[in-house]
Amino acid sequence: MAKRSARLEADPAFRPHEAPREGNVRNPERARRDILAAARQEFAAYGLAGARVDRIAEKAGLNKRMLYYYFDSKSGLFTAVLEAVYAELCDLAEQLDFETGAPSLLLGRLVELLFDHYDRHPDTITLLNSENLHGARHLAASPRLKQMSPAFRQRLARLIARGEADGSFRPGIDPVDLYLSIVGQIYFVQSNAATLSLFFGRDLTRRRVRTAWRRHVREMTLRAVCRPESLEV
């Protein structure tokens, strides 16, 4: 049917659900994955209220009934999508070794790492906005989230400690505050790119502008955190 052509084609590794062909093959894992990918796309594009279960099923190339089989409800599906988003966010910290190298350099790299993450996964933003609109109700009910953050926070604290120790960072920096300041700038500009571009007459979605913004956030952060002497470069 025409439905197959409506599949999501963003994922390069994507292959239609019914492909194998030897009799409607049972591949539960893949069905789950397809549904989740389709749902993520839909929720990111329209928000929780604006998302349509029919469209998700169509994008996933599966019967609508299957969404309920695997995820219970639209709400359950949204929760699953959010968990995936959070898992990605937590993986981030592990991509950087905070133990070796100059703290100020590492901090700069962290900013870039975060920026690039939101740049590559812009749907993260609309998904989190949706969840916040609903008071984080879904995450609050999700048991998986609970053990996610501590690792993240610890690593950041360790970086700050090293920076303070070697005198390159100002004293008294709070890891959470620092994180919020960095991500706040990154997140806000991407989240509100449409209205801000209109308001300031500067297209904030253009590559070049984005790159400049990436540099700006790093500099803002370093200037605010590091001792002046350690920035003489």
Partner DNA sequence: GATGAATGAGGGTTCATTCAT
Partner DNA sequence: GATGAATGAACCCTCATTCAT
Residue numbers at the binding site for DNA (CB under 7 A): 18, 23-28, 31, 51-54, 62-66, 68-69, 73-75
Min CB(83)–a copy of itself separation in Å: 12
Which residue reads 């008071």 in tokens? 135
Among the listed ranges 1-9, 20-28, 47-55, 107-115, the one in contact with a copy of itself (CB under 8 A) is 47-55
Q: Could you say which of DNA, a copy of itself, none residue 75 binds, taking C-beta under 5 to 8 angstroms by partner kind? A: DNA
Beta-carbon contacts of 104 under 8 Å, excluding residues fewer than 6 positions away, are: 163, 168, 169, 222, 225, 226, 230, 231
Which residue reads 């984005």 in tokens? 210
Alpha-helical regions (H) of the chain: 28-50, 53-60, 64-71, 74-93, 103-120, 123-133, 137-140, 149-165, 175-191, 193-200, 207-225
Site string for a copy of itself, 185-214 (x = CB under 8 A): xxxxx-xxxxxxxxxxxx----------x-
User: Contacting a copy of itself (CB under 8 A), which of 145, 159, 169, 230?
Assistant: 145
Question: Is residue 73 close enough to count as binding a copy of itself by CB under 8 A?
Answer: no
Min CB(56)–a copy of itself separation in Å: 15
Cα separation of 223 and 129, whole Å?
Answer: 29
What does the block give as tokens for 218?
């790093």
Q: Could you say which of a copy of itself, DNA, none residue 228 binds, taking C-beta under 5 to 8 angstroms by partner kind? A: a copy of itself
70 or 152: whose CB is closer to DNA?
Answer: 70
Which residue reads 């999501």 in tokens? 8
